[in-house]
């Protein structure tokens, strides 16, 4: 009696006061969007979907995003909490952004909150700070520009003075026509520069690069490029994504810029995705020359405040007359894009588009395809070594394939020489890690004033250290891997590349006190050896260690581009996208490290890396040289590399994938269990695998080719004191895929709850 009374009272109260309820996305791993009520004084000022609100949640305060500004109270309204405030100085999240979060969460089996957190990494957006930063950036650029104009004026004035002085000396000169013309031209130029300087100083937000569309100097495409350009536009007309399969050096970038220019002139915006920061640095200059202030660069590694700056710039352009082109790595997908006309995904095959941790474990390329649907914009994927996934999409008619097989400078592919290091060692042909042949090639290249890049895929001085007395290998106390030796000015440190543990290097075995010897060499040691072998060459290194220092990285790339460095040594980072005109020899040392990974993608990846690396050299007409040092010269990857016919290779790889039912013929989901206790990791992963088998293989045999493998211990089965077990699900790609996926997610969540095992399990869709 009492209950029903009070019940009607709620509704009465609700009806009288018309309480408004909203649902909110919180930046947490939450499977639901909690409901809040809006106090009257806030309601008066209005509240909308996308607003950022400060709310209480399990004893803490969060800033969330209103996902619906009008919902029905789903529980006892007395239990529903009020929001604290609407953060009016934070920009509203756009509906397309929330739609993208939902799609990403659904596809990658994570929560919308986790995606929102990736999109808005910090709680509070300090708009004042963002504005201040943007303004100071403009001011800085303005000062630079004014400075350069001043120098120009000085130079012109000096020239004019010299001319006049010379004319004074030879009196008759001063009446000559050419002299008059020249001085007049100089004077005109000076007064124009003065006017420009004044304009810069007068207008605080003047468009510093002059009138926008005038700076577009235009690109003249070659016949082959024109043809591809036309085919791309035909593809766009069909509303399908287009894949540009263009050999290295074919001028894909030129085509991208042309397309971007067109879209910008139509008044729409462009998102230009690149896989890696290092790569985008060189591209940034190229694009800036064309697009000036319309170019916004955004890297994943950048701080929350630069993210805010980029977002602020993009928002400022909304509704205005300005258009933007964002050049960025995968996370720039989550900027507040509006009026998108085109997305370019450069080097679409690249693995660094995939985020492995934390959730959302998304792939930038595939998420860009989701954006194409949401924004209804064009999308162009480009690569010299397209992923099998993309080629499959093209052959299935879902995407349009455009090929460009002519290099711009007309140079042929670099010649390949494979050197068998085992055989060389037997013949005493190796000096450290350099074979006789490679040394010859390097010397010859240096003598002709050209440059060399050497790839060694492991950073450090030595990746493994072993005791010469007891054979013990120095291991990380927290991970199941060996420690790598890094040499520094102050000595050396043994470092774990997985958990970051490090200890100072004593040179002695911790077990028996014997001497430690290095097994193998990392980039640091290769650099040391190269310095001895080529004492007159200037040498630089680029790898994960040097990348910590961004200005060093930028300078190193710039120096190499300008020919100030002769030899560049690095990890995979040096194989990608760069355009160095003086580079004529590329070499891989210990190429074996690229092969033989326990992964169905291993060969495809190795082939892509080698092909990309080969494409870095001989880009200016001369034929380059590609030297590969390996102890497995008979590996099929090399045969495939030597074969001219790239599409034949893809066909072969595709058949293998089909035979084994690997992607793109199936979808793989990797479920990882991590636990401090090894026995519990075993027990829990076995139980979870049994649950998943019951779900996907109810009759004991795979239903519709869905398969559960594992649990098994991965190659590195302990990291940071956590034992790791994996379960691999292979799902058939059919109409049931989406529902199977959500059933899997539900099963995992149920398992977490029933076993009280929260925080130990991660789900990775399409692992790289
Ligand atoms: P890709 O990205 O396909 O490997 P790039 O776009 O880097 O190739 O082009 C290789 C080189 O050729 C670059 O230095 C580029 O400036 C030049 N290039 C390509 N196309 C043109 C063009 N139409 N006009 C002028 N230079 C071009
Ligand atoms: Zn470790």
- Give the number of whichever ligand sits closest to the CA of residue 497: 2
Closest-CA residue to 506 (of 514, 36, 750, 95): 514
- Total domains, the chain: 6
CB 472 within 8 A of CB 511: yes
Q: How many CA atoms lie within 13 A of 609 on its CB side?
A: 25
Ligand nearest to the CA of 479: 2
User: Does residue 559 share a domain with residue 431?
Assistant: yes
Nearest residue (by CA) to ligand 1, atom 6, is: 251
Residue 221, ligand 1, Cβ within 6 A = yes
Ligand 1 atom closest to the Cα of residue 220 is 23
Claim to verify: residue 570 and residue 623 sit in the same structural domain: yes
**Distance between CA atoms of 586 and 623, rounded to whole angstroms?**
12
* Dihedral in degrees, nearest 10, Cα atoms 406, 409, 413, 416: 180
Q: What is the CATH number of the domain that holds 76?
A: 3.40.1440
Answer whether residue 580 is part of any domain: yes
The Cα–Cα gap between 346 and 276 comes to: 10
CB 619 within 8 A of CB 578: no
Residues 515 and 542 in one domain: no
What spacing in Å lies between the alpha carbon of 651 and ligand 1's midpoint?
28
Closest ligand relative to 406 C-alpha = 1
Residues 6+ apart with CB under 8 A from 582: 449, 450, 451, 563
Residue 763 pairs in a beta bridge with 671
- Compute, in angstroms, the gap from residue 477 CA to the centroid of ligand 2: 7
H-helix or E-strand spanning residue 757: none
Residue 224 CA to ligand 2 center (angstroms) comes to 51
Q: So what's the pLDDT on residue 214?
A: 41
Verify that 637 and 705 share a domain, yes or no: no
Q: What is the pLDDT of residue 163?
A: 80
Q: Residues 470, 514: contact at Cβ < 8 Å?
A: yes
The answer to whether residue 571 is domain-embedded is yes
Instruction: Using alpha carbons, list the distances in angstroms from residue 627 to 16, 442, 529.
Output: 81, 10, 17
Cα of 571 to ligand 1 centre, how many Å?
Answer: 24
Span from the CA of 221 to the centroid of ligand 1 (angstroms): 9
Residue 1 forms part of a structural domain: no
Query: Contact 331/306 with Cβ under 8 angstroms?
Result: no
The neighbourhood of ligand 2, an ion, using CB within 5 A, equals 476, 478-479, 496, 498-499, 501
Q: In angstroms, what is the span from residue 172 Cα to ligand 1's centroid?
A: 51
CA 206/CA 330 separation, integer angstroms: 31
* 733 and 617 share one domain: no
Question: Rounded to an integer, what distance in angstroms lies between the CA atom of residue 295 and that of residue 759?
Answer: 40
Whether residue 285 lies inside any domain: the answer is: yes
Q: What number of other Cβ atoms are within 10 A of residue 187's Cβ?
A: 13
Do 731 and 609 belong together in one domain?
no
**Which residue's CA lies nearest to atom 5 of ligand 1?**
251
Q: Which two tokens stand for residue 759?
A: 């925080």
Residue 306 · residue 286 · CB < 8 Å: no
415: tokens are 């010649």
Judging by DSSP bridges, how do beta strands 60-71 and 722-732 pair with one another? unpaired
pLDDT, position 482: 95
d(CA 437, CA 699): 60
Residue 155 tokens read as: 């130079």
* Nearest partner of 596 among 626, 643, 637, judged by Cα: 637
How many residues does this entry show for the chain?
A: 768
270 shares its domain with 374: yes
Q: How much distance in Å is there from the Cα of 252 to the middle of ligand 1?
A: 7
With a 6 A CB cut-off, is 253 part of the ligand 1 pocket?
A: yes
- In this structure, is residue 480 part of a structural domain? yes
Atom of ligand 1 lying closest to residue 246 CA: 3
Scanning 458-588, the segments in alpha helix (DSSP H) are: 523-533, 550-561
225 Cα nearest atom in ligand 1: 23
Torsion of CA 82, 87, 91, 93, to 10 degrees: -10
Residue 660 lies in a domain: no
Asked if 438 and 486 sit in the same domain, the reply is no
Tell which of 404, 427, 450 closes a domain.
404
At a CB cut-off of 8 Å and minimum separation 6, what does 87 contact? 51, 52, 53, 54, 63, 124, 125
pLDDT at 423: 96
222 touches ligand 1 (CB under 6 Å): yes
246 lines ligand 1 (CB under 6 A): yes
Contacts of 529 (CB under 8 A, 6+ apart): 431, 432, 433, 434, 521
Distance 495 CA to ligand 2 centre (A): 8
Residues 533 and 614 in one domain: yes
Nearest C-alpha neighbor of 612 from the set 645, 644, 573: 573
Q: Is the dihedral of CA 486, 489, 492, 495 positive or negative?
A: negative
The CATH number of whichever domain residue 541 belongs to comes to 3.40.50.300
Report residue 482 as tokens.
């060996």
| Residue numbers of the domain that contains 24 | 6-94
Q: Is 406 in the pocket of ligand 1 (CB under 6 A)?
A: no
402 forms bridges with which residues in the sheet?
244
Q: How far is CA 269 from CA 99, 273, 336, 602, in A?
A: 19, 13, 12, 37
DSSP for 550-610 reads HHHHHHHHHHHHTT--SEEEESGGGGSS---TTEEEEEESSGGGGS--SSTTHHHHHHHHH
Pocket test for ligand 1, best of 254, 402, 561 (most atoms within 8 A of CB): 254
Q: Is 219 in the pocket of ligand 1 (CB under 6 A)?
A: yes
Q: Is 612 in the pocket of ligand 1 (CB under 6 A)?
A: no
Query: Is 210 in contact with 578 (CB distance < 8 Å)?
Result: no
Question: Are 577 and 619 spatial neighbours (Cβ–Cβ below 8 Å)?
Answer: no
Instruction: Classify residue 292 by its DSSP letter.
Output: G
User: Is the domain of 272 the same as that of 393?
Assistant: yes
What pLDDT, on the 0 to 100 scale, is given for residue 321? Answer: 66
User: Where does 411-487 have alpha helices with state H?
Assistant: 421-426, 436-447
To which H or E segment does residue 451 belong? strand 451-455
The H-assigned helical ranges of 336-387 are: 364-375
Q: CB burial class (10 A; 0-12, 13-18, 19+) of residue 293?
A: middle
Q: Is the CB of 416 under 6 A from ligand 1?
A: no
Tokens representing 146 are: 């004014």
Residues 6+ positions from 482 with CB-CB distance below 8 Å: 463, 464, 465, 473, 474, 475, 476
- The pLDDT of residue 158 is 85
Confirm whether 650 is domain-assigned: no
Atom of ligand 1 nearest to the CA of 581: 14
In a shared domain, residues 88 and 144 = no
Q: Are the C-beta atoms of 189 and 156 separated by less than 8 Å?
A: yes
Say how many Å lie between the CA of residue 313 and the centre of ligand 1: 29
- Ligand 1 neighbourhood includes 548 CB (under 6 angstroms): no
Compute the distance between CA of residue 491 and CA of residue 196 in angstroms, rounded to an integer.
Answer: 55
Q: What are 547's two structure tokens?
A: 């990348």
pLDDT per 10-residue tile (average), the chain, 768 residues = 42 58 93 92 92 93 93 83 91 94 96 93 48 55 76 84 78 65 80 77 47 59 95 96 94 95 94 82 84 84 72 74 88 92 96 92 97 97 94 95 89 90 94 96 95 95 95 95 89 92 93 93 96 96 84 88 95 86 94 83 90 83 89 92 76 87 92 97 97 83 70 94 96 84 94 94 94
Which pair of tokens denotes residue 691?
A: 């649950």
- Atom 14, ligand 1: residue with shortest CA distance: 579
Q: Does ligand 1 come within 6 angstroms of the Cβ of 616? A: no
Q: Are 353 and 364 in contact (CB under 8 A)?
A: yes
Ligand 1 and 225: CB distance under 6 A: yes
Please say whether the beta carbons of 669 and 692 come within 8 A.
no
Q: Would you say the C-alpha torsion 216, 383, 576, 460 has a positive or negative sign?
A: positive
355 Cβ below 6 A of ligand 1: no
Whose CA is closest to 183, among 168, 167, 163?
A: 163
Residue 112: inside a domain: no
Give CA–CA dist 302/680, Å, rounded. 38
Please indicate whether residue 254, judged by its CB atom, sits closer than 6 Å to ligand 1.
yes
Which helix (H) or strand (E) segment is 723 a member of?
A: strand 722-732
pLDDT at position 759 is: 87
452 Ramachandran zone, left/alpha/beta (phi>0; psi -120 to 50): beta
Question: Do 242 and 323 belong together in one domain?
Answer: yes
Ligand nearest to the CA of 561: 1
What sign has the CA pseudo-torsion 104, 107, 108, 114? positive
User: pTM of this prediction?
Assistant: 0.83
């Amino acid at each position: 009696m009492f209950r029903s009374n009070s019940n009607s009272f709620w509704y009465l109260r609700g009806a009288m006061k018309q309480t408004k309820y909203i649902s909110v996305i919180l930046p947490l791993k939450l499977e639901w969007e909690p409901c809040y009520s809006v106090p009257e004084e806030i309601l008066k000022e209005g509240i909308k979907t996308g607003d950022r609100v400060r709310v209480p949640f399990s004893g803490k305060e969060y800033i969330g995003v209103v996902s619906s500004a009008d919902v029905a109270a789903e529980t006892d309204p007395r239990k529903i909490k009020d929001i604290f405030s609407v953060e009016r100085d934070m920009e509203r999240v756009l509906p397309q952004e929330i739609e993208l979060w939902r799609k990403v969460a659904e596809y990658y089996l994570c929560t919308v909150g986790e995606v929102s957190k990736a999109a808005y990494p910090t709680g509070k957006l300090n708009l004042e700070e963002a504005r201040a930063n943007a303004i100071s950036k403009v001011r800085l650029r303005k000062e630079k520009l004014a400075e350069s104009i001043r120098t120009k004026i000085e130079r012109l004035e000096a020239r004019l003075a010299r001319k006049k002085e010379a004319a004074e000396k030879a009196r008759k000169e001063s009446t000559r026509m050419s002299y008059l013309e020249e001085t007049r031209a100089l004077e005109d130029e000076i007064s124009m520069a003065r006017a420009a300087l004044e304009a810069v100083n007068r207008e605080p937000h003047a468009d510093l690069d002059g009138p926008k569309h005038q700076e577009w100097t235009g690109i003249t495409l070659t016949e082959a490029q024109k043809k591809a350009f036309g085919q791309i536009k035909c593809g766009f007309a069909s509303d399908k994504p287009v894949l540009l399969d263009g050999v290295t050096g074919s001028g894909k970038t030129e085509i991208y810029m042309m397309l971007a220019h067109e879209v910008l002139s139509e008044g729409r915006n462009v998102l230009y995705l690149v896989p890696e920061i290092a790569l985008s640095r060189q591209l940034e200059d190229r694009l800036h020359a064309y697009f000036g202030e319309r170019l916004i660069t955004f890297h994943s590694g950048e701080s929350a405040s630069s993210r805010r700056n980029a977002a602020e710039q993009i928002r400022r352009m909304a509704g205005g007359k300005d258009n933007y082109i964002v050049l960025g790595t995968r996370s720039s997908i989550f900027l507040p894009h509006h009026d998108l006309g085109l997305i370019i995904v450069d080097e679409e095959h690249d693995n660094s588009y995939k985020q492995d941790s934390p959730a959302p474990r998304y792939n930038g390329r595939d998420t860009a395809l989701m954006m194409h649907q949401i924004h209804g914009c064009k999308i162009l994927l480009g690569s010299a070594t397209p992923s099998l996934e993309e080629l499959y999409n093209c052959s299935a008619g879902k995407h349009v394939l455009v090929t460009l097989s002519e290099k711009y400078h007309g140079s042929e592919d670099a010649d390949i020489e494979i050197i068998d290091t085992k055989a060389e060692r037997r013949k005493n042909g190796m000096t450290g890690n350099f074979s006789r042949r490679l040394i010859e090639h390097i010397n010859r290249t240096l003598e002709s004033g050209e440059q060399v890049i050497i790839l060694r895929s492991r950073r450090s001085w030595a990746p493994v250290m072993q005791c010469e007395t007891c054979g013990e290998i120095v291991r990380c106390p927290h991970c199941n891997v060996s420690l790598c030796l890094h040499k520094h000015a102050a000595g050396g440190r043994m470092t774990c590349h997985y958990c970051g543990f490090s200890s100072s290097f004593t040179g002695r075995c911790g077990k028996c006190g014997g001497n430690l010897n290095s097994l193998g060499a990392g980039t640091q040691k290769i650099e040391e050896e190269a310095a001895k072998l080529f004492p007159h060459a200037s040498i630089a290194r680029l790898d994960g260690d040097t990348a910590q220092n961004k200005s060093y990285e930028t300078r190193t790339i710039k120096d190499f581009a300008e020919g100030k460095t002769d030899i560049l040594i690095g990890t995979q980072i040096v194989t990608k996208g760069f355009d160095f005109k003086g580079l004529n020899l590329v070499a891989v040392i210990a190429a074996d490290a690229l092969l033989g990974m326990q992964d169905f993608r291993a060969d495809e990846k190795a082939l892509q890396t080698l092909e990309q690396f080969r494409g870095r050299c001989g880009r200016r007409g001369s034929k380059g040289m590609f030297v590969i040092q390996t102890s497995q010269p008979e590996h099929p990857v090399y045969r495939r590399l030597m074969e001219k016919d790239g599409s034949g290779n893809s066909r072969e790889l595709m058949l293998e994938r089909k035979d084994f039912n690997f992607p793109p013929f199936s979808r793989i989901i990797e479920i990882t269990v991590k636990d401090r206790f090894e026995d519990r990791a075993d027990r829990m992963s076995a139980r979870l695998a049994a649950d998943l088998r019951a779900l996907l293989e109810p009759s004991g045999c795979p239903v519709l080719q869905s398969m559960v493998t594992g649990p098994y211990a991965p190659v590195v089965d302990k990291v940071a004191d956590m034992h790791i077990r994996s379960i691999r699900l292979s799902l058939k790609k059919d109409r049931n895929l989406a529902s199977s996926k959500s059933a899997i997610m539900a099963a995992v969540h149920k398992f977490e709850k029933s076993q009280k095992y929260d925080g130990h399990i991660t789900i990775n869709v399409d692992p790289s």
